[in-house]
Amino acid sequence: MSVLSGLNTKVVKNGDPAPAPPASGTIRIYNMRYCPWAQRALIFASLKKIPTEVINIHLDQKPDWFFTKHYKGQVPALEHDEGKKIVIESAVIPEYLDDIYPEPRIIPTDHYEKVQQKLLLDRISGQLSSAFYGVVQAAKISDLLKEKLVELAKAYDTAEELLTGDFYSGTSKPGFVDYLIYPNIQRAFWTSHIIKDFPLKVESFPGPNYPKLSKWYKRLDSIPEVIATSQPTETAVEFFKSWIIGAPNFDYGL
């Protein structure tokens, strides 16, 4: 049973009224169903079994009141303590959740190991996401696309190299980096269904050039608490098609 209520509700947009403050004992996450950054917060809430209310935001027609939750109008934003506390930023919210709901703790308690996990996330995430969004933006401009696909392959080469064991946590179980980088890699999986000559393969994604990552992805993809935060491939691919052409359908599949 998922702790995330409202995950598949329709997006709230400009003109829609502001929601009442979250109830005591519940956290609220402002989300968009296909956003990899917001999914980080959802994954952490799911793993830590925190009762969570999800409200989806229309990212092109944001409600004015949403800017009181996040000054840039981005997702995710975490709201709790009956609306008195708001935390933003996709890598900050999980750390905060580990602080205020310490069991089960996901980030190492050793200070050096903890900081290395944060730096590793920054490194992998920075490379994968900039390469990925480079591909997406070039998808409509075919002369740039080939070059961007080469950069994407290089970013995944680095991700493969940095995976020295089963998981980026350096232990026998997934950890902070694994859970937070998974959504970005899932988005590349979805896109591998759409773009021709994509260097990452749909079958046993990301394919034989990335043996460790392929095993890693399969494992992460089968964790129930991660699945509970994810959208199915079929609907996600259709959303991504709409997003790539510049007309995102945020409620696709609902």
Catalytic residue positions, numbered = 35
Helix (H) / strand (E) element for 114: namely helix 111-138
Instruction: Compute the least distance from the CB of residue 254 to another protein, in Å.
Output: 32
2 is in an annotated binding site: no
- Closer to another protein by CB, 111 or 196: give it: 111
- Does the protein bind another protein through residue 100 (CB under 8 A)? yes
75 is in an annotated binding site: yes
**C-alpha to C-alpha distance for 30 and 71, rounded to whole angstroms:** 13
Instruction: Compute the least distance from the CB of residue 69 to another protein, in Å.
Output: 13
How many CB atoms within 10 Å of residue 100?
A: 13
C-alpha dist (Å) from residue 177 to 114, 220, 235, 251: 10, 12, 26, 29
Stretch binding another protein (CB under 8 A), from 19-27, 119-127, 163-171, 197-205: 119-127
- Closer to another protein by CB, 94 or 174: give it: 94
- Closer to another protein by CB, 16 or 113: give it: 113
- Does the protein bind another protein through residue 163 (CB under 8 A)? no
Q: Which residues of 106-124 are buried (b: 16+ CB within 10 A; e: fewer)?
A: bbbeeeeeeeebeebbeeb
- Closer to another protein by CB, 88 or 106: give it: 88
Nearest residue to 94 (alpha-carbon basis) of 135, 52, 63: 52
Stretch binding another protein (CB under 8 A), from 114-122, 140-148, 191-199, 210-218: 114-122
C-alpha dist (Å) from residue 242 to 8, 20, 48, 184, 237: 18, 32, 33, 18, 9
- Does the protein bind another protein through residue 99 (CB under 8 A)? yes
12 is in an annotated binding site: no
- Does the protein bind another protein through residue 111 (CB under 8 A)? yes
Helix (H) / strand (E) element for 220: namely helix 211-221
Interface pick for another protein out of 118, 193, 201, 241 (rule CB under 8 A): 118
The 75-94 contact track toward another protein, x by CB under 8 A, reads: ----------x-xxx--x--
Instruction: Compute the least distance from the CB of residue 114 to another protein, in Å.
Output: 8
90 is in an annotated binding site: yes
DSSP string, 153-212: HHHHHHHHHH--SSSTTSSSS--HHHHHHHHHHHHHHHHHTTSTT-SS-STTTT-TT-HH
Length in residues, the chain = 254
Contact between residue 228 and residue 43 where contact means Cβ atoms under 8 Å apart: no
Interface pick for another protein out of 18, 23, 119, 245 (rule CB under 8 A): 119
Contact footprint for another protein (CB under 8 A): 71, 85, 87-89, 92, 95-96, 99-100, 111-112, 114-116, 118-119, 122-123
